[in-house]
Chain A
Amino acid sequence: MLKIQNLTKIYDGGVLALDKVSFEVPQGQFTAIIGLSGSGKSTLLRCINRLVEPTSGDIFWNGTNITKANDDELRLIRRKIGMVFQHFNLVHRSSVLTNVLAGRLGYVNPIMSLFNRFPKSDIENAFKQLERVGIADKAHSRADELSGGQQQRVGIARAMIQEPDIILADEPVASLDPVLAHSIMQYLEKINKEEGVTILCSLHFLDLVHRYADRVVALNEGKLMFDGKPTDIDDKKFKDIYGREAERVG
């Protein structure tokens, strides 16, 4: 259970990115976050694992208040939250395997990990995760030798090896073509359905939202504009979320 209360973020320049956002996500739900570019979707996701420090408000997760956690506690919280990025954010010059194993850094002994030593079970698990997304044969390639779709699958494997309770996906398919986009979304759907991992995923295309999400949260200029089922977004709601000028496509 993830509970966000009055979450506000004002950036250093005075930009109000999130304005008293509150909502709850029950365990195991596939929630899509929609909104225009700059509406605060990325900031919202990054506040949850505190890659961005919230200005005020609280985020409760299974009873702990994430916003009040100190560095040590935050590490323990973060290792249970997987994250998938729009630009995949793989370390290009490292191997695919190393990129996946990086997901275990919150668990392994810090001193051993400095010398690139991981427990055998982790390495086996990494291969298992790569097999699951269908690129086990690429384990020893350099990450930048992979295509976009393959890189995002590595990103998912990196998130999954964390054994997360929740995955934050920040526009995971925005840099991919429609076919690849569906294949990546299907992996997320599978993780959600089979392992009960909560998924919080920001998306641009409403057809993807309709196809995959149980629920939609919409942001406009940092404010929560809509919270409900994807099918409940009618033309009026659509214009609230995307503005007067927007036209519905697809």
Chain B
Amino acid sequence: MDKKKPNLLRSLGIGLVVLAVLFIYAYGFQVTKVNLAETKSEHRREQLTRILRALAHPELFSYETEDTMVSLPVMVPCPEGGFQPETPDTSEPYLVMTPACGKGLKIAIVEGFNFEPFSSGPLNFRPADSEVNLQLGSIKVDRDGHFEIEVRLSNRPNDKVQELQAITRRNVGAPSLTRTAFETWDKIVETVFIALLATTLGTLLALPLSFLAARNLMKDVKSSLISMSLSILFIPVGFYIGIKVASWSLPVSVMLTGNPFVAIAGLLILPIIIWSGARFALSQSEDEKPLLNTRLIRWLVVAIIALVLIVVLHLLSNQAMLGGNNAAKLLGSFDFLGLFVRDLGDILGIVIGTVTAIVSAGILNSLAGRLGLILNRKSGTLIHILQVTLATTAGALLFFLLAAMINWFYQFNNTMGFFTAAASIGGILGFILGLINNPERSMPTGMIVYFVSRTILNATRSVEPLVMVIIFVVWVGIGPFAGSMALALHTIAALGKLYSEQVENIMAGPLEAVRATGANRLQTIIYAVIPQIIPPYISFTMYRWDINVRMSTIIGFAGGGGIGFLLIQNINVLNYRAASAQMLAIAIVVASMDYISSVVRERFV
């Protein structure tokens, strides 16, 4: 009895599950509006046949056609005494209608003889008093040059002689590519290049990000609360200084750009200064720590060459923009090369500012780290008080910056109140942390960076490029540029995650061996991490390009350029034969990308 009970319960449970599954699917059918009647209806089936046949005939080739026109006079209604057209010349193609005339002919049979076998075309009615052609039907000539078609003719308001006209078309000469074929070619090339640009940009930016999102590299990065607070305080300052320095050096380089000779001389001489300065300041190797004086002088030289470098890069960017523009005018149909140089110069100009800001933030961050190390040497109450002060300030600053970001989106009315509240909360949290934390304990800085970058990557990745492109269309206008930007953003997030997982999978042995030689973090990445991740990185980049080609075929649906733009247009105007040409192009490109990427991946993995 005891044994049976659970069995009964079990069967009951299974029964309930089955019922629940049935219910779920029944509801699913209702929600998705499953309509089997439609699939069976004659009308729908005809349409389906039509569209499938259209899709099977991509509009790629066209022929010169030769029309054969044959006319037959008719009268509706019959005049008094009847109407009989002249006896046709039976050696030529001719038409016969039975009956030859009538009053409101419901059914008349038109027959054609001696036509070109297997040709086809329309049968038109041409009223005598107007220029219009009314198509009565299409004719298909059989192998004997004969066709037969039923037509319906309504009464005309006059008693003039009307005309029936049969036109048959025949393809002559060699096939030639259609306009659709050319447009499709244009757009498929655009599509592949959208994918290429998006993948390149995405890879370049995902590469450094992937190290920040790799657990095995970040978990050992630890610093004291004092160092961390100093970093939070110093990094924004570093960004600010970097941006300022970059914008200060801009006028200097603009001044040099004015005269082409000065500019070229500058481009030649300044790099030499940088090179010799670098040779002086960056010693090849050192066994002992150099004296403070030497180090100060070196730092000064490094700072100067950094400034000169920024000026040179600005100069280079300006010259590239000028030179590229001028070259474009000279190059004629190859003007895109000149414009490319101009755009590269422009990109360089944008990048200089950003990179200077990041580098300067990095320098101040490492300065903060060093200061933190020096401070952490000491111990006692004083250092604890310092920790509380720094943690409070850093907390306030961090929350203030976050509040500023939120405020930028939401535009609160009481801005000052919001900022004060945020900064106070941050300050209080920092204060509590500073109070309870032992100054000697190290904080998991690396893991914080890891979680933040992972979260950002995951959030960005979850937005489809088709949605992102809407934002970029607003920013840079409809077209392939918006598409490549949207795809690039998505690629950064997707590749960043894939790359970081590859970094997490590397062999730990070489990593610890290189660390054991006294290499610093960056050296360890260059010598132990990068050689190990090159094959998977190449493989994933190829895979991503493959995905991006597929994505860029539909990114045009949302205004992102590429072949999708053409495809959606043709679908909307029901031009299925043209749409079919584009689908064919997509299929060919995707399949060949698939093949190429698998070959390349096999090579490297």
A positions within 8 Å CB-CB of B: 46, 49, 51, 70-72, 74-79, 81-83, 85, 87-94, 98, 102-114, 116, 119, 122, 155, 158, 162
**A113-B526 in contact given A71-B373, A76-B518, A104-B285 (Cβ < 8 Å):** yes
A98 CA / B510 CA spacing, docked (Å): 12
Give chain A residues whose Cβ lies under 8 Å from the Cβ of B516.
49, 51, 78, 81, 83
Specify which chain A residues have a CB less than 8 angstroms from the CB of B289 in the assembled complex: 76
Nearest Cβ on chain A to B581's Cβ, whole angstroms: 45
Please, which residue of chain A has its CB at the minimum distance from the CB of B534?
Answer: A93
For B510, what are the chain A residues with a Cβ–Cβ distance below 8 Å? 89-92
- Bitwise, B282-300 to A at CB < 8 A (1) or not (0) is 1111110100000000000
Given the complex, which residues of B lie within 8 Å of A88, measured CB to CB?
Answer: 509
A85-B509, A93-B531, A122-B285 as given contacts; A113 in contact with B517, CB under 8 Å: no
Q: How far is the CB of B529 from chain A (nearest CB, A)?
A: 9
> Of all chain B residues, which has the CB nearest A161?
B517
Question: In B527-573, which residues have CB < 8 Å from any A CB?
Answer: 527-528, 531-532, 534-535
Residues in A with CB closer than 8 Å to B535 are 93
B273-312 to A contact mask, C-beta < 8 Å, 1/0: 0000000001111110100000000000000000000000
Contact A89 B523 (CB under 8 A): no
CB of B524, distance to nearest CB on chain A (Å)? 8
Across the interface, name the chain A residue whose C-beta is closest to B369: A71
Q: Could you tell me if A109 and B283 are in contact, using CB atoms closer than 8 angstroms?
A: yes
A103 and B528 CA atoms in complex are apart in Å by 12
Interfacial residues of chain B within 379-405, with CB under 8 A of chain A in the complex: none
Question: Does B462 belong to the interface (CB within 8 Å)?
Answer: no
Bound-complex Cα distance A71 to B376 (A): 13
Nearest to B370 among chain A residues (CB) is A72
A102–B515 touching, CB < 8 Å? no
Contacts of A93 in B (CB 8 A): 531-532, 534-535
Docked CA distance A51–B289 (Å): 23
Q: Are B518 and A83 in contact (CB under 8 A)?
A: no
Q: Is the CB of A94 within 8 A of B284?
A: no
In Å, the complex CA distance between A172 and B429 comes to 50
Cβ-based interface call for B36 (8 A): no
Show the binding face of B for A, using Cβ within 8 Å.
282-287, 289, 370, 373, 376, 509-510, 512-520, 522-523, 526-528, 531-532, 534-535
B526: chain A residues at CB < 8 Å are 113-114, 116
State the CA gap A199–B11 with chains docked (Å).
71
Which residue among A46, A70, A90, A91 has the maximum number of chain B CB atoms within 10 Å of its CB?
A91
B532:A75 contact, CB within 8 angstroms: no
A residues within 8 A CB of B512?
46, 51, 85, 89
Task: Establish whether residues B509 and A108, one from each chain, have CB atoms under 8 Å apart when the complex forms.
Answer: no
User: Is A162 in contact with B285, judged by CB distance below 8 angstroms?
Assistant: no
Among residues of B, the one whose C-beta sits closest to the C-beta of A88 is B509
Choose from A89, A102, A119, A155 the contact partner of B285 (Cβ within 8 Å). A119
* Known pairs A70-B373, A90-B510, A93-B532; A112 contacts B515 (CB<8 A): no
Whether B513 and A89, one on each chain, are in contact in the complex, defined by CB atoms closer than 8 angstroms, is: yes
Instruction: State whether B527 touches A91 (Cβ < 8 A).
Output: yes
Q: Could you write out 17 A-B pairs with CB less than 8 Å apart?
A: A51-B516, A74-B518, A75-B519, A79-B517, A82-B517, A85-B512, A90-B513, A91-B531, A93-B531, A93-B534, A102-B527, A103-B517, A105-B527, A110-B523, A112-B282, A119-B285, A158-B513
- From residue B211, how far is it (CB to closest CB) to chain A in Å? 14
Q: In the complex, which of the residues B373, B376, B509 has the most CB atoms of chain A within 10 Å of its own CB atom?
A: B509
Q: State the Cβ distance, B455 to closest chain A Cβ, in Å.
A: 24
Q: B520–A110 contact, CB under 8 A?
A: yes
Give the dominant DSSP class at A's interface: mixed
Chain B, residue nearest A101 (CB): B527
> What residues of A have a CB within 8 angstroms of the CB of B520 in the complex?
75, 105, 110
Closest to A155 in B: B513
**Contact pick for A85, options B513, B517, B522, CB 8 Å:** B513
Known A-B contacts A91-B531, A102-B527, A105-B527; the reply to A78 vs B517 at CB < 8 A is yes
Contact A106 B373 (CB under 8 A): no
Cβ of A78: which chain B residues have Cβ within 8 Å of it?
A: 515-518
Q: How far is the CA of A81 from the CA of B526 in the complex (A)?
A: 21
Set of chain A residues within 8 Å of B519, measured between Cβ atoms: 75, 102, 105-106
Q: Which residues of B lie under 8 Å from residue A119 when comparing CB positions?
A: 284-285
Are A107 and B373 in contact, with the CB atoms below 8 A? no
Partner of B523, one of A76, A81, A87, A105: A105
Task: Report if A105-B517 is in contact (Cβ < 8 Å); known contacts: A93-B534, A110-B523.
Answer: yes
* Complex interface: chain A residues within 8 A of B527 (CB): 91, 94, 98, 102, 105
Most central of A71, A89, A110 by chain B CB within 10 Å: A89
Known: A83-B513, A91-B528. A108 touches B284 (CB 8 A): yes
Task: For B532, list chain A residues within 8 Å (CB).
Answer: 91-93
Q: What are the residues of chain B within 8 A of A77 when measuring CB–CB?
A: 518
Q: Contact: B522 with A107, CB < 8 Å?
A: no
**Chain B: CB-nearest residue to A113:** B523
- With the chains together, A105 CA to B289 CA distance in Å? 15
Cα-based distance from A102 to B528 in the complex (angstroms): 9
CB-nearest residue of chain B to A86: B509
Q: Which residue of B lies closest to A117 (CB)?
A: B284
Complex: A113 Cα to B528 Cα, angstroms: 13
Give the CA-CA distance A187 to B508 in the complex, in Å.
26
Residues on B with C-beta less than 8 A from A105 are 514, 517-520, 523, 527
Chain A min CB distance to B62 (Å)? 54
Residues on B with C-beta less than 8 A from A104 are: 285, 517
> Considering the complex of A and B, which 7 residue pairs feature the smallest CB-CB distances, nearest first?
A106-B518, A79-B518, A89-B509, A105-B519, A89-B513, A78-B518, A119-B284
Residues of A contacting B287 in the complex (Cβ-Cβ under 8 angstroms)? 107
Cα distance A158–B1 in the bound complex, in angstroms: 76
- A94–B531 touching, CB < 8 Å: yes
Q: How far is the CA of A120 from the CA of B517 in the complex (A)?
A: 19
Which of B285, B515, B522, B534 makes the CB contact (< 8 A) with A109?
A: B285
- Given contacts A70-B373, A75-B520, A93-B531, A109 and B509 within 8 Å (CB-CB): no
B349 to chain A: closest CB distance in Å?
25
- Interchain CB contact under 8 A, B518 and A75: yes
A66 to B528, CA, bound (A): 24
Q: Which residues does chain B contribute within 8 Å of A116, judged by CB atoms?
A: 526
Query: If A49-B516, A102-B519 touch, does A72 touch B282 (CB 8 Å cutoff)?
Result: no
Q: How far is the CA of A46 from the CA of B511 in the complex (A)?
A: 13
A98 and B532 alpha carbons, distance in the complex (Å): 14
Q: How far is the CA of A169 from the CA of B510 in the complex (A)?
A: 15
Q: A72-B373, A91-B527 are in contact. Are A111 and B517 (CB under 8 A)?
A: no
Closest to B286 in A: A107
Q: Could you tell me the distance in whole angstroms from the C-beta of A27 to the nearest C-beta in chain B?
A: 19
